[in-house]
Structure 1
């Protein structure tokens, strides 16, 4: 049995070190979570991301009582940010943490506490899949995180098990140098194969097309539609102008789209619209990383793909031209997401769209705000509201 006595003081020894987290991601889960999890040997079981997407270095402490869900449980985790990480290398600016990585640093400890809590033992005979459903995050600062240790504080607030499904709610907060810079809350769930197979997306199973392709777009096809090819790294959008080294889109693993279609005065607000497309390859780099035995594209990379589309819109519209040495950055505001499906290896294409709702020029930055959706083939499965992107002057 798991321990039934509360541990109310932080331990001097980590709850999970790097080796144990490797076991949780790729090896024997019982070596990280305890001997009760031996029942999952040779069975599919919840995993945390691995390899390039493992963004949790250790779990320092746990407060609460495992399997006692009437009271909150808490963990403190840490992630050591490498200065030369692939996501800095591939981004347009070498100090800008991609928003997807920020989300993963906040959400991966939620996955750990969900497993550590013992929630799976509500249905020990079922093989359940762990999925993020909803969340929101507020950026409080946008620090340079290279070579920093990010501390995560996670509270598991509630657990409800019913009908072979488990739903859990969490609060999260991230700190660097003792200062909170990102916080929010999120909902995760455990689901059977059948439940995932029968997902109906965000529109009750109805196939709602993107604005650009819909009859409801009216005269959208009579407007100017600018097409960009993102499948080739030699395209101009990946080549920064001389003296402006960050005025380009991200490359390699952070290039998540094959094509953009931009309608300058389109979209639901008439302030701009961008559509993105990616052909899904079963061998795409992120599938083995997320997760072992249960490959799905991280929802955070879907959000990152939407931001890439917004960056393309910003560059095409010349919004970088007012700056001498422009760079992209994030905005200290709240963003919310909702997922009702996943991009899986069997998916043929990922579509997305962003409706620009506002473009504001401030003294030190230009901020683009959009609401967005993402499709698995023709089923709309993600919705992101109040997603913001900034263009500002890069430091000398």
Structure 2
């Protein structure tokens, strides 16, 4: 019966739901035989009486079981339904909590275990005493919505969908330290302070050379408290429609690095503007991050809540026919990176490890091309529905994080610097996560889902030089999902510097 409901497609859009017998109604069973170790085959036949499509899909049927051709069991009036469930309900019973330390995936239940978890620092509480510690943040990713925000979110504990935080290994919040503003109040000026305890060993350090937190992860450290605050103020409660939450625009400036020696990153986010149009909600935030009290990132960004119907016909970022033609322009300089060639994937200065690498191949490199004549690059990545980030970002709404699209651009810049021989003569060279003290701007007008086939990046080098720290390059780039341009990033910089002690 469960197979029948699955084959009919009822599980496709119901990630995390489970099957259970319908209670409160009588079943009739007749047994006229048995299955023993000496028998060969048991065959079950399901005679469908009726199917209810929802909101809780239910199958009513008679079930006949035969053993080696002999009718042995008959169940009449059987009923099975598909009901909402949340992975954290089971996973939280495991522990102690695990942290992924390298590119080898850990089972998600180990990453979500809460047995033995203790809050090491004070956490914020709601007016009714609800605590916004790590268990509530993990529930915001994988649990009952009411376990994330208290009774206010009980309407989403059933069949409705709600915006989520990413789950581990792409979850970068440890606790809410303070929150200022009424819960459910939809008030501009609401503020949150969140902390992320940087693990002694974290997968993203090992995958990026071990020196500093990649820009994609720093972006998430800054963006995820915005998503939490948007839920705290009650955005999802303003309509009966299920809304999806997406980053739209942002500008950010990196001023420092988060290293393995960093203990805690503290993020302060303020909801500065809020507007509504129909079922859509647009929210603006001002954000700052400190690493052990040292400023490392400042950002202003815009998010939107949208009904699912808004994504049925993605228009993307406006482009010209020439922009589109660049995707097919032939080039005799191409590199397959999935084979991890030593020139780009070994040595002190190299591209990230397999888990973080967001490029499968470079399909074009024109050293004197581009709008400024300083270089142009083009890359591809095949979309794999089983990719780790779809499982982490988000439960019941799998999309590639926009930050990993920006990371693909950072890596294409790294490829450019490797091709230029930027590290020649430098002791213990490394890449900075992104060029500091330069504003980077991004625009997202679409999403990458498991249904996509190909991600492409097209990049122009717009500035190149050397300063007191080392050689650098700055680029503008677009990212395409299949044939639609969905991201545009300007002012993205990368520099090669000597490692500490080099």
Q: Same fold (TM over 0.5)?
A: yes
Superposed CA deviations along residues 251-284 of structure 1, whole A, max 9, x for unmatched, are 1211111101211111121100111100101111
Partner of 1:296: 399
Q: Kindly state the Cα deviation for residue 12 of structure 1 after the two structures are TM-superposed.
A: 5.7
- Is 1:259 the counterpart of 2:361? The answer is yes
Matches for 1:273-288 after TM superposition, within 5 Å: 273-288=376-391
* Alignment partners' CA distance in 2, 1:390 and 1:195: 39
Give the CA deviation at 1:363: 2.6
2:262–2:291: 8 Å Cα contact kept in structure 1?
Answer: no
Relative CO higher for 1 or 2, CA cutoff 8 Å, sep ≥ 6? Answer: 1
- Specify whether residues 207 and 376 from structure 1 end up closer, same or farther in structure 2 by C-alpha distance, changes over 3 A only: farther
Residue 157 in 1 paired to residue 264 in 2?
Answer: no
Cα distance in 1 between the residues matched to 2:321 and 2:154: 42
Q: Which has the larger radius of gyration?
A: 2
How far residue 235 of structure 1 moved from its aligned partner, in angstroms, is 4.6
In the other structure, the counterpart of 1:342 is: 447
Q: How far does residue 206 in structure 1 lie from its aligned partner after superposition?
A: 8.0
For 1:34 and 1:162, the matched residues in 2 are separated by 27
**Are residues 346 and 369 of structure 1, via their aligned partners in 2, closer, same or farther at CA, if it must alter by over 3 Å?**
same
Matches within 5 A, 1:160-175: 160-175=275-290
**1:63 partnered with 2:180:** yes
- Structure 1: gaps (5+ residues): 1-10, 215-220
Which residue of the partner structure matches residue 133 of structure 2? 17
Mapping 1:121-136, distance limit 5 Å: 121-123=237-239, 125-136=240-251
The C-alpha deviation readout for 1:54-103, integer Å capped at 9, x for no partner, is 00111111101234335410010000111310001111x21221100000
Provide structure 2 residue ranges, at least 5 long, that are not aligned to the other structure. Answer: 1-120, 126-131
Does the CA-based 8 Å contact 2:440-2:490 persist in structure 1? yes
Do residues 98 (structure 1) and 214 (structure 2) align?
yes
Cα RMSD (Å): 1.9
User: Aligned to 1:108, which of 224, 227, 233?
Assistant: 224
Does the alignment pair 1:378 with 2:483?
Answer: yes
Following superposition of structure 1 onto structure 2, how do residues 22-61 of structure 1 map, counting pairs within 5 Å?
22-41=138-157, 42-61=159-178
Cα-to-partner distance string for 1:188-229 (whole Å, 9 max, x where unaligned) = 001111101122001189895263525xxxxxx5xx742111
SS in 2 for 1:156: strand
1:8 is matched with none
What TM-score do the two structures reach when normalised by structure 2?
0.71
Alignment correspondent of 2:409: 306
1:359 aligns with 2:464: yes
Post-superposition shift, 1:48? 0.1
Q: How many aligned residue pairs are there?
A: 371
Query: Does the residue aligned with 1:201 lie in a helix, a strand or coil?
Result: coil
Q: Who is 2:345 aligned against?
A: 238
